[in-house]
Amino acid sequence: MKTIKDFNFQGKKALVRVDFNVPLDADFNVTDTTRLKAAKPTIIKILEDGGSAVLMSHLGRPKGVDAQFSLKHIVKTASEILGVEVKFVPATVGAEAEAAVAALEPGEVLLLENLRFFAEETKGDLAFSEQLSKLGDVYVNDAFGTAHRAHASTTIVAQFFQDKLAGFVIEAELVNADKVLKGGVKPVTAIMGGAKVSDKILIIEKLLDVADNIIIGGGMSYTFAKAEGGSIGNSLCQNDLLDYVLELEAKAKAKGVKLIFPIDNLLGDAFSNDANTQVVLRGQIPDGWEGFDIGPQTIELFSKIIKESKTVIWNGPMGVSEIPLYATGTIEVAKAVKEATEGGAFSLIGGGDSAAAINNLGFGDDVSYVSTGGGALLEYMEGKELPGIAALRA
């Protein structure tokens, strides 16, 4: 796979797939600039070489043209972050877009309108991809967060270019994931959270070959507790996976990998910040109560293991972290990962809620790498071929 490091963009117009799918508030202000900042080095490299950058991205999940999902809302913030004026064209393909690209001078940046205003984008339509290809001399994919989708702009368009390159974000994502997958410095600890075991089955199976410890938190932990004969009250549970999780525990034991579960849980009687709460030991949740976070003994245990690790990967919250009452476990795990990193550990934060927790606490620069693509990172670490990456290697 060729990267932009090995290419000179002098006099070239680069069609760059970026991931500018950023959150906006009610007034259309960008509330998290992580993805904009991540794309900056790739764009600046193109400009400093003497090229120009034509940026394409999606925003949200519009059904057809929808003004609230227009990428015009992010132009001001993107310009501030890049330190260069981002021009905007209210078109994605066709004559208006082609004219805007033709007028682009070296050192300039143009942002196209939302790709997903066209159903052809997510369908991976060949004709739409060919239209997109007319907007650049060279293709760069730097949108790792969508690399697991065979969409027009992430995969199909690449076949129309002789020069197709990975940007700095994609390169960094793969390099950092491989630091865990290809044998991180031991002890290696994986922290798995989130609601469903089914979302993490494949990655846990993969991590059994590289991890020393796999910490299981979040909603998925209650399926394990029930499978072991515990009482989980009204907590989340995937009953169809009860036999499987016991098999998983046996596999881990056979490979000498420690599966580490909560000691205690914080319960609530409502999905609310003003609910009544209590702490009970794992597997002893009474009827009418639901586990919403890990308890204080668990926080102490998980934190100790994390701080003693030399390689850490974290994907998924320890509880319902969007509700402050149930966010303590996730916050304390984030602090432990930060401390481990300060002590010399390599830490990879696997996108999604874990990345949000790290960034919201201001720890983004205190860990080794924060992934911009939750789903794409999971699929890569599961051993799946990502269509967006395969297209660059074709």
The residues assigned a catalytic role are 35, 196, 352, 375
Crossing angle, helix 168-181 and helix 34-48, to 10 degrees?
Answer: 120
The 3 state secondary structure assigned to 10-54 is CCCEEEEECCCCCCECCCCCECCCHHHHHHHHHHHHHHHCCCEEE
**Residue 52 and residue 13 in contact, taking contact as beta carbons nearer than 8 Å:** yes
**Residue 39 and residue 18 in contact, taking contact as beta carbons nearer than 8 Å:** yes
**Sheet harboring 277-281: ordered strands across?**
277-281, 264-268, 290-294
Taking the CB of residue 204, how many other CB atoms lie within 10 A of it?
22
Nearest C-alpha neighbor of 283 from the set 260, 259, 258, 263: 263
Phi and psi (nearest 5°) for 195?
-80, -40
